[in-house]
């Protein structure tokens, strides 16, 4: 019989010990929750840092040629709406420097603008290919577009460029949907439209003039406050 009484007594002691353990567990759980929150907040600020996606225009230039090559017997170039094709080509570089996330930049539209006239008019509007960037990867998209003038404003620029003149103070406005994917395979941000401005861009001109090493132009993220 005595052992039973002992057991009851010990049971009582164990209960109070368990109560202490329970309290300790709550404290640990609370601390872990706080830690998890801190990690999540840190992860979100790091993962969503929009400056992570680099967009740039190689050599800061768009080269222009009269479509159809250098046929000396072709009639003098005289653009009008729907007539007089030019070929524009340039390379857009996208870099994802992050070692953790993938970045998608989709539904991308670019507008090449000249600010020679007071109302900076669009010289060319075009669609850029989607890019899908794994961690620490880079993609160069070579853009080649052959087109005639679609609106009256473009005709002036087309004739000027066909003549070998260049527009030295142009800019390219890029707009696309940026999506960030953490490596667990979840997209953290959806359908954020992000604007980049690339300036200054040289459009056209004699290729032999480019002997001075042209530098790549980094486009600035317009959703970010200007930083150093």
Ligand X SMILES: *[C@@H]1O[C@H](CO)[C@@H](O)[C@H](O)[C@H]1NC(C)=O
CA distance 77 to 79: 6
Q: What are phi and psi of 186, to 5 degrees?
A: -105, 140
The reply to whether 127 sits near ligand X by the rule CB under 6 A is: no
Minimal CA–CA distance to 207: which of 70, 55, 113, 68? 70
Shortest Å, Cβ 29 to ligand X: 31
Minimal CA–CA distance to 94: which of 54, 60, 49? 54
The reply to whether 185 sits near ligand X by the rule CB under 6 A is: yes
Shortest Å, Cβ 185 to ligand X: 5
The reply to whether 159 sits near ligand X by the rule CB under 6 A is: yes
Q: Considering only residues 3-62, where is the footprint of ligand X by CB under 6 A?
A: none
Which two structure tokens, joined as six digits, stand for 185?
């395979």
Which two structure tokens, joined as six digits, stand for 134?
């794994």
One residue of 47, 126, 135, 169 binding ligand X per CB under 6 A: 169
One residue of 65, 137, 141, 147 binding ligand X per CB under 6 A: 147
Q: 91 vs 165, which CB is nearer to ligand X? A: 165
Counts for the chain of helices (H) and strands (E), in that order: 2, 11
Binding site for ligand X (CB under 6 A): 67, 78, 80, 85, 104, 106, 115, 146-148, 159-160, 163, 169, 179, 181, 185-187
């Amino acid at each position: 019989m005595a052992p039973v009484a002992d057991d009851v007594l010990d049971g009582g002691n164990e209960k109070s010990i368990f109560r202490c353990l329970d309290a300790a567990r709550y404290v640990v759980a609370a601390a872990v929750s706080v830690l998890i929150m801190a990690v999540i907040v840190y992860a979100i600020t790091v993962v969503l840092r929009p400056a992570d996606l680099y967009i740039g225009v190689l050599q800061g230039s768009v080269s222009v040629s009269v479509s159809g090559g250098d046929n000396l017997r072709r009639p003098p170039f005289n653009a009008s709406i729907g007539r007089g094709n030019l070929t524009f080509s340039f390379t857009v570089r996208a870099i994802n420097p992050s070692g953790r996330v993938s970045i998608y930049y989709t539904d991308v539209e670019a507008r090449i603008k000249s600010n020679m006239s007071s109302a900076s008019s669009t010289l060319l509007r075009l669609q850029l290919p989607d890019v899908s960037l794994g961690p620490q990867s880079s993609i160069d998209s070579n853009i080649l577009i052959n087109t005639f003038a679609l609106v009256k404003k473009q005709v002036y620029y087309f004739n000027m460029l066909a003549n070998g003149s260049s527009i030295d103070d142009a800019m390219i406005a890029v707009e696309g949907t940026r999506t960030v994917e953490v490596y667990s395979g979840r997209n953290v941000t959806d359908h954020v439209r992000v604007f980049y401005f690339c300036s200054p861009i040289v459009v056209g001109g004699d290729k032999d003039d480019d002997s001075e090493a042209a530098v790549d132009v980094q486009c600035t993220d317009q959703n970010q406050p200007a930083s150093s």
